[in-house]
Chains A and B, each alone.
Chain A
Amino acid sequence: MSSAAPLLEVRDLSVHYPGRAKWFFQKPEPKKAVANISFSIPRGKTVSLVGESGSGKSTTGKAIVRLAPVTTGEIFYEGVNLAPLSTSAFKPYRKKIQMIFQDPYNSLNPRSDILGILSEPLEIHFPHLSAADREARCAQLLQSVELKPENYLRRHPHELSGGQRQRIGIARALAVEPELIICDEPVSALDVSVQAEVINLLQDLQAQLGLTYLFIGHDLAVVEHVSDYILVMSKGQIVERGTPDQILHHPTHPYTQTLLAAVPKF
């Protein structure tokens, strides 16, 4: 990793979700989803979180964009600690940091067409754009995710395949010109053929736009392919970290060894 200051640095992050009591006389036990993790991501690089479901990967990503509560710890973005910022002081970072999800379907308004879906973040973050400029920008965004604007601007999410929906999810994230994108299992629900196209697209965009990725996945073969650095999570903690080569060839934690053994080889 480069010695330059990282774009993002997470220090001792813990996330506890408020728990539910099993019985009325019990005190609710908070759910400790993430426990004291630290890592950093250099600008322009891809750092991945891998681990089984429930290990705290999504929670880590969500805490960075304030979709999950930061119980303790610090999240430095270009040296600024985001954790204590007020909502208004945090607003510029909403633009710099975007998140994409496994199936963007749930987060795409079904009644809106693609033009409407891509316009929404533009209206919030670039209110000065005229309607015509906005439409031109939407067309450009579709081109950047390799979809023909004339075929897609007027379509609705339910008319699209999983791969096309993921491209729309990526276009929407790109709309606000982010620097860091948190990719939460972006290809886990896709066929291998579509998965390869979306991964290539993410890598092309990274090269063109200098994007930084926090990539969340559970398929080690995919994670190894996209990453500069890998963090292995288990039960809310980072149990191992290293370059793809280190993780693959010299795994030290038994959990990493289990994950590796489970990847079918042929």
Chain B
Amino acid sequence: MSAEPLLKVRGLGVTFRTGDRVTVASQDVNFELKAGQVLAVVGESGSGKSVSAMALTRLLPPEPNCVIQGEVLLNGRDLLKLSEAELTQVRGREIAYIFQDPGTSLNPVYSIAYQIGEAIRLHRPEVTDVSAEVIHSLEAVHIKEPARVAQQYPHELSGGMQQRVMIAMALACNPKILVADEPTTALDVTIQKEIMDLLSRLRVERGMSIILITHNFGIVAHFADLVQVMRSGHIVEQGPAEQVMNQPQHPYTKGLIACIPRLGQRRRRLTTLKDELKAS
């Protein structure tokens, strides 16, 4: 791991304007990420997690409907100052995204081979044998029969398999950073574990950084180096995962952690965020 951060985000903010409604979706987001590190972003829905992650590569509506402030320095280069054409090169090639519902991100009318192949042709024109690279990318996400799966269509695959394909597609371009936006929320617990194990392995094998958006604290504890807790567009607390999980400082973080039912505790009543915020 190099000492110099791969990504430095300074004063990132996103404001939406629709008609005369102004929504400040995120504000004053600051963090640094080194190569190979996993940053988990947690918080309730609507707190600005996805919007902040999309803002990194301006994957949002154009101005004036959406205004992005701040700096996103990837290896010292401010992504927010790049032209749309330059950003297209960054997306996928340097920062790739996977989303919660792979079913809607995959195009139903094309085979898996075609869709991964397109991503490779777009971002890695130097690759000559695209079909071999497609198979290779499916092997990399530990799909057992890559040649067979490559010929299939999205609807023929299970949810877990579709998410593997999305990861394969994202990784086919060897990104430095993978943004995984609730990648397992729609999946069964057993499949969730398989996907998270896969991501851990890939991160070690490739030295890739991961920004993981999740509301599952269990996953955070197992997987993240750093944690960021968002509430109504602000980071209320961030730091090393162990510290934030074991000694949360902000009442909101304490509240979120206290809400979670734990296996084997059999509390008579679950603590709610309201109880916890009232008590503090």
Contacts and interface: CB of A to CB of B under 8 A. Distances in A.
Given A259-B190, A264-B221, A197 B216 contact: no
A196 B273 contact: yes
Contacts of A192: 215, 217, 256, 259-260
B192 interface: yes
- Residue among B190, B261, B264, B266 with the highest chain A CB neighbour number at 10 A: B261
Contact of B270 (A162, A200, A218): A200
A221 B193 contact: no
Contacts of B217: 192, 264, 266
Given A220-B263, A221-B261, A244-B266, A191 B44 contact: yes
B247 to A, nearest CB: 13
Contacts of A52: 188-191
A193 B44 contact: yes
Contact of B222 (A191, A203, A248, A264): A264
A219 B217 CA distance: 13
B216 A221 contact: no
B269 A262 contact: no
Nearest to B218: A264
Chain A binding surface SS class = helix
A193 B260 CA distance: 8
Given A162-B45, A264-B221, A221 B262 contact: yes
A264 B216 CA distance: 9
A61 B213 CA distance: 33
Interface string A201-223: 00100000000000000111110
Contacts of A260: 263
- Residue among A194, A260, A266 with the highest chain B CB neighbour number at 10 A: A266
A224 B264 contact: yes
A86 B272 CA distance: 45
B267 interface: yes
Contacts of B256: 192-193
B58 to A, nearest CB: 27
B46 to A, nearest CB: 8
B261 A222 contact: yes
B272 A193 contact: yes
A225 B261 contact: yes
Q: On chain A, which size bracket covers the interface? A: 20 to 34
Interface in B156-179: 159
Contacts of B265: 225
A248 B263 contact: yes
- Residue among A197, A258, A264 with the highest chain B CB neighbour number at 10 A: A264
B270 A225 contact: yes
Interface in A248-266: 248, 258-266
Nearest to A219: B189
Nearest to B190: A262
A220 B218 CA distance: 13
Nearest to B187: A53
Given A193-B272, A196-B272, A220-B189, A264 B261 contact: no
A264 B219 contact: yes
B216 A195 contact: no
Given A191-B44, A191-B215, A259-B190, A197 B222 contact: no
Interface string B187-210: 011111100000000000000000
- Residue among A191, A200, A218, A265 with the highest chain B CB neighbour number at 10 A: A191
B30 interface: no
A199 interface: yes
A172 B19 CA distance: 35
B21 to A, nearest CB: 14
A263 B260 contact: no
Interface string B248-280: 000000011001111111110111111000000
Contact of B269 (A203, A248, A259, A266): A203
Interface string A34-52: 0000000000000000001
Contacts of B159: 53
Interface in B68-106: none
Interface of A: 52-53, 162, 191-197, 199-200, 203, 218-222, 224-225, 244, 248, 258-266
17 contacts: A191-B44, A191-B45, A192-B215, A192-B256, A193-B44, A196-B273, A199-B261, A200-B269, A221-B263, A224-B264, A225-B266, A248-B264, A264-B216, A264-B217, A264-B218, A264-B221, A266-B220
Given A196-B273, A225-B261, 17 more contacts: A52-B189, A53-B188, A191-B45, A192-B217, A196-B259, A196-B260, A197-B274, A203-B269, A222-B261, A224-B266, A225-B267, A244-B266, A261-B193, A262-B189, A262-B193, A264-B219, A264-B221
Which 4 interchain pairs have the tightest Cβ spacing?
A264-B218, A266-B221, A196-B270, A193-B273
